[in-house]
């Protein structure tokens, strides 16, 4: 009956999603895709590093201020899945749910809750490694990244996240308003 059909559709959608994440990785980093090894665990220092969280939010803000994009957390620069085990282990709730809660907290404090609806967070397993795909739609208005020393404005230029000076941001925003 209907329940079976729902299950079939769910399984089909899952397989499409998993296939697409592999396709996403194959495409490599580009204007609308960036890989981050982790959200907060610094493997070199073997400890949590807040700068990594800031780097992720910088990219999210840049995608919000540009044409949107995707951020894959848990993959190295070559797109090889390294997994989120260390990120999970560093959280009070050491799983995907705890990771998403922490992501939301950082997002709300650095970007703002009003922009959260433009961002989707999904988890997938690739070769036994858990990765997080963050899907970002373009925002309806400018997004400023709040940091300890004020606010910064970022956009995507090619495959990099670029900070704009206030004068540049003003020009960018006024030209952007006309486009939308």
pLDDT score, position 26: 86
pLDDT score, position 25: 86
51 burial (CB, 10 Å; 0-12 / 13-18 / 19+) is exposed
Entry pTM: 0.87
The dihedral sign for the CA sequence 173, 176, 177, 180: negative
pLDDT score, position 178: 60
pLDDT score, position 160: 92
- Sorted by sequence, the CB contacts under 8 Å of residue 165 that are 6+ apart come out as none
d(CA 106, CA 170): 26
Tens-digit pLDDT string for the chain (180 aa):
666 666 666 555 555 555 578 888 888 888 999 999 999 999 999 999 999 999 999 999 999 999 999 999 999 999 999 999 999 999 999 999 999 999 999 999 999 999 999 999 999 999 899 999 999 999 989 999 998 889 999 999 999 999 999 999 999 998 876 654
d(CA 102, CA 12): 30
pLDDT score, position 20: 77
Are 61 and 145 in contact by the 8 Å Cβ rule? The answer is yes
- Taking residue 91's Cβ as centre, other Cβ atoms within 10 Å add up to 18
pLDDT score, position 47: 96
């Amino acid at each position: 009956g209907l329940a079976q059909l729902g299950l079939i559709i769910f399984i089909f959608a899952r397989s499409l999603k998993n296939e697409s994440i592999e396709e996403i990785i194959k495409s490599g980093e580009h204007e609308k895709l960036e890989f981050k090894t982790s959200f907060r665990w610094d493997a070199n220092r073997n400890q949590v590093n807040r700068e990594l969280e800031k780097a992720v939010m910088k990219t999210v803000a840049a995608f919000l201020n540009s044409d949107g994009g995707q951020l894959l957390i848990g993959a190295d620069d070559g797109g090889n899945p390294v997994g989120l085990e260390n990120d999970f282990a560093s959280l009070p709730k050491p799983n995907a749910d705890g990771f998403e809660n922490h992501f939301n907290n950082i997002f709300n404090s650095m970007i703002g809750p009003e922009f959260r609806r433009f961002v989707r967070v999904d988890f997938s397993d690739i070769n036994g490694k858990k990765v997080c795909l963050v899907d970002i739609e373009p925002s309806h208005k400018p997004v400023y990244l709040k940091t300890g020393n004020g606010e910064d404005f970022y956009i995507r230029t090619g495959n990099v996240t670029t900070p704009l000076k206030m004068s540049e941001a003003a020009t960018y925003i006024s030209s952007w308003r006309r486009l939308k």
